[in-house]
Amino acid sequence: VQGIPIQDGCILNKNPATGELISKVPITTNVEEIVEKAHDAFLPWSTTTSAQERIELLKKGLEEIKSISTELAPLITQEMGKPLLEAQGEVEGVADKDEYFQILQDALQPIQHNSSTVIRQALGVVVILSPWNFPADEILLLALPALASGNTVIVKPSEVTPETGRMVVESMAKYLPTNVLQVAQGDGSVGAALVGNTSVKMVCMTGSSATGKKILSTAAPQLKRCVLELGGKDPMIVFDSADLEKAAHDAVAYSLSNSGQVCCSIERIYVADAVHDEFCKVVSEKFAPNFKVGNGMEMENLVGPLVSTTQKEHVEAHVQDAIDKGAELLYQSSVPEDAPEGSSFFPVTVLSNVQRGMRPVKS
């Protein structure tokens, strides 16, 4: 989807800020073997350990991730571009899951209804297709409940962030029985092989609606359970009674977090006529210029590159479509003048008079 090159059976893992090669990651070719190992590990894991014992092992895995946070956060920035401060925040969130574990523990307890007792049972092998925008935390938000419930898990990280995914999975797996948690690397073809395997009982994916439809079409004949968190088109509405300073600040901050590459980021703004011009002025003159675009490893940069050159071309096409159809360009920042070939920086851009039928509104 992101145009990540594959060469000689390896993902060419590149830094979107520099275009430099980070690593060559071999694509998993033994998908059936990995699934079989997960299947064989399922019964011992689900029947010989209690939910509490499993949760305690998972907590040890999170402590392991916490111990490598100074390596993990920069790796996230290098692989997908988000500013280091945001990557550090993600890693801190990864390690802080006490409340989450309490919710899991409570949910796994038997529930008594008069003379009936409801008991949750593990399904078997669960496949997680994790996204690149939160490449560490999103793995755990899906893997922790699956593992605590007694399932075995195979994680296929996004091909954009393979090393981050590997580091998270291997850190957790240190404290788990062999083959309870595994990683598979590759592009959509590896994901499709995992989804289609009849020994896989559940698929969890965060990503595009198009990919979600493909997963559902494969899972349906097997009545395979799916958890899909797909893309949205989130609006912000500014009424004439709003605090314009706060609204403008939030509009910019929550549009540009993670370079706007968040499923719940602000993607379009509807402003009451009475305050429209003032709101646009505050956004474009006061707040947007504060967000400097550059390499996320440099702390003064609040907006990193887009995740790939494919994503950059996609955004460029959206902006140009709107301008060609009459949208007004209110502000556009600079990008690093010395940006190397293969980098994917895109300027902070503010458009007004954006109408239905323009790509930034409808897709």
Give the residue numbers annotated as catalytic, written as ranges.
229
Of 349, 237, 343, residue with least CA distance to 289 = 349
Q: Helix (H, G, I), strand (E, B), or coil: what is residue 5?
A: coil
Measured in degrees and rounded to the nearest 5, phi and psi for residue 96 equal -100, 85
Strands 181-183 and 116-118: unpaired
| Distance set, CA 288 to CA 53, 149, 249, 314 (Å) | 49, 45, 8, 21
Strands 21-26 and 111-113: unpaired
Give the integer Cα–Cα distance in Å for 328 and 237. 19
Half-sphere exposure of 49 (CA within 13 A, CB side): 24
Q: What is the DSSP string of 273-310?
A: HHHHHHHHHHIIIIIGGG--BS-TTSTT-SB---S-HH
Measured in degrees and rounded to the nearest 5, phi and psi for residue 303 equal -130, 120
- Helical H runs in the chain? 31-48, 51-67, 69-80, 84-95, 98-107, 137-148, 162-173, 188-196, 209-219, 244-256, 273-282, 309-324, 359-362
Give the integer Cα–Cα distance in Å for 170 and 157. 12
